[in-house]
A = this chain, B = another copy of it.
């Protein structure tokens, strides 16, 4: 586990760097990730109507199924910047391509930061030669630092599998966001692997993996202006090319990818803005997964619930209120609510939980809410965090 070097460069064939180019004051704000070979590449992006210029650019370039590099900046989202913003992104990726002697169509881009402001293109372009000069296997950690915004620590993940007698590595880095509501804050993730896999299969497995991980935390990867998840596969592990997700090799690779996305998603929640607790909400017995997800997010996104969790109050009425207001016609007598292992509501009435014991357990750093319905067999798990005064202080600027 090459912890010291950063996990995004752990798979064979990847180098990275992260520098301070002056978008922000005195912190790393520009990262570059490069694949030695033309990597099979896939991405999932926000569905926000005002998606950022780098999202438009990367989505278009990924149609080829291949890429060599991703340039990432923090401190400015390059969103709501119109044609000028598109030109800025094109200019930067063109210079990256020129310096790396690759095709500009093989350079992807991602940005995060304030919306509605132009990128400081000059600063970025003048930083590029330093950035390219620092590219190395050891540079992964610097890259993981350069993509952060209000995150308090870099977020990385690494795992390995043996596929066709070859060891393959999957690693990644991510940046988190405000945790209070989906749709609102930018989440970026970059995953690399040396597995050999077709672009089509990679795209399919990424989509499924993101649905189970980043789309089940209370930062909806689908909705901010800049949310992006990228995966690059160099193929250098030398395994037989994975062509189908439902093959044995496909399932192995998929399990590794899922491990990385789940780990990064959980790290994002744990480092939610101002967060003091990780909150896990499991909805079971739902009619279908969509219903389970909707109910879980109704609780996860309730400020009153999140604030009670911050206060370590076993105020489960707020769970019920959020659940009952989610637009699903529930019959109270067929809903069971379990908080920290203690059944608090069943058969339409309080279950007579030991409130003192419960209150003690509310002090734990991990809060678990279980909603047991009697409508079907679907189950979903949503992760979120509490709402604290620090969240407000962090976001008032």
Contacts and interface: CB of A to CB of B under 8 A. Distances in A.
Contacts of A225: 317, 320-321, 324
For this complex, into which size category does the number of interface residues on chain A fall?
A: 35 or more
B392 A325 contact: no
Interface in A140-167: none
Contacts of A347: 82
A303 B387 CA distance: 10
Contacts of A115: 315-318, 320-321
A343 to B, nearest CB: 13
Contact of A49 (B48, B84, B178, B331): B331
A91 interface: no
Contacts of A311: 395-397
A73 to B, nearest CB: 16
Contacts of A240: none
Contacts of A345: 80, 116
A55 to B, nearest CB: 11
A397 B313 contact: yes
A258 to B, nearest CB: 26
A219 B313 CA distance: 23
Interface in A34-60: 46-51
Given A316-B116, A349-B81, A304 B184 contact: yes
A48 B324 contact: yes
A123 interface: no
Interface string A288-325: 00000000001001111001101101011110111111
Contact of A48 (B303, B321, B387): B321
Nearest to A114: B317
A262 B76 CA distance: 41
A346 to B, nearest CB: 10
A389 interface: yes
A85 interface: yes
A55 B178 CA distance: 36
Most B C-beta atoms less than 10 A away, residue of A178, A317, A323, A391: A317
A331 B222 CA distance: 17
Given A49-B330, A321-B184, A395 B307 contact: yes
A185 B304 contact: yes
B80 A328 contact: no
A181 interface: yes
A116 B344 contact: yes
Contact of A317 (B51, B79, B222, B395): B79
A224 interface: yes
Given A310-B396, A389-B393, A396-B313, A79 B320 contact: yes
13 contacts: A46-B325, A49-B328, A81-B350, A83-B348, A83-B349, A116-B320, A181-B302, A181-B304, A184-B321, A220-B325, A223-B324, A311-B397, A392-B392
Interface of A: 46-51, 77, 79-85, 114-117, 178, 180-185, 220, 222-225, 298, 301-304, 307-308, 310-311, 313, 315-318, 320-326, 328-333, 344-345, 347-350, 387-389, 391-393, 395-397
Given A49-B328, A303-B303, A389-B389, 7 more contacts: A49-B331, A80-B317, A114-B315, A180-B303, A184-B321, A225-B321, A225-B324
